[in-house]
Amino acid sequence: MDEKVRLLLVDDHTLFREGLARLLEAEYGLELIGSCASPEEAFTILEARGVDVVLLDFDLGTKNGLHFFREFEMRKYPGRILMVTAGMRDADTVSALKNGVAGIFLKHNPPADLITAIRRVARGETWLDSNTMRALVAGSAEEERSRKADSLNDREQAVLKGVFEGLTNKEIGARLNISESYVKALLQQLFEKTGVRTRSQLVRVALERNLQ
């Protein structure tokens, strides 16, 4: 007989946790060795017993699941982590997967899919549904925009400062001793790099970059 997949469930929503625990305990080939609400309780269990898969909620009150995952990795516990969550920001999804989380399962999906996800993660595979893939693409795009925004050259920053001050393209050109058409070209570069579409949104970007 195949060895059972040992599971630890960490979720601070009691009703969901207890319902999922009953589902897992009734599933052939799975063994729920612990169910708890906090990272501290989880680490106590992990000190005593090994697990194959940790089912981890992302929102754990004062700390999120990424804090737990970093501590889990630092302590070098065996096993893999499958996030089971109501939702995550795209940037958090990207960060979780880049840092080694084995998969992200959304709570609104069918229970049968969760069982499939658990078995795949236990085999060393990664679980990515269509929503997670969309978040991964969107989050990566956001990271790219942020990286581009951090790479503004001196002239682009000068144009951004002029926009913040309410100058027209002609006035910005006169200040920088460049043509109005060149100012327009630089503005297009700013729109592309910062991911915004209007001058008013560029003002917000200038505020965030302390260019006032």
The top-level CATH class assigned to 152-208 is mainly alpha
Alpha carbons 100 and 32: distance in angstroms, whole number: 23
Find the angle CA(41)-CA(45)-CA(47) to the nearest 5 degrees. Answer: 115
Tell me the β-bridge partners of 60. 63
Pick the CATH number of 5-142 from 3.40.920.10, 3.30.750.200, 3.40.50.2300, 3.40.50.1820: 3.40.50.2300
Domain boundaries defined on the chain: 5-142, 152-208
Q: What is the pLDDT of residue 1?
A: 39
Question: Going by C-beta distance under 8 Å and a sequence separation of 6 or more, which residues neighbour residue 68?
Answer: 10, 39, 42, 56, 60
| Mean pLDDT of the 81-86 span | 92
pLDDT band at 140 (very low <50, low <70, confident <90, very high): low
Q: What is the pLDDT of residue 7?
A: 96
| Mean pLDDT of the 119-139 span | 74
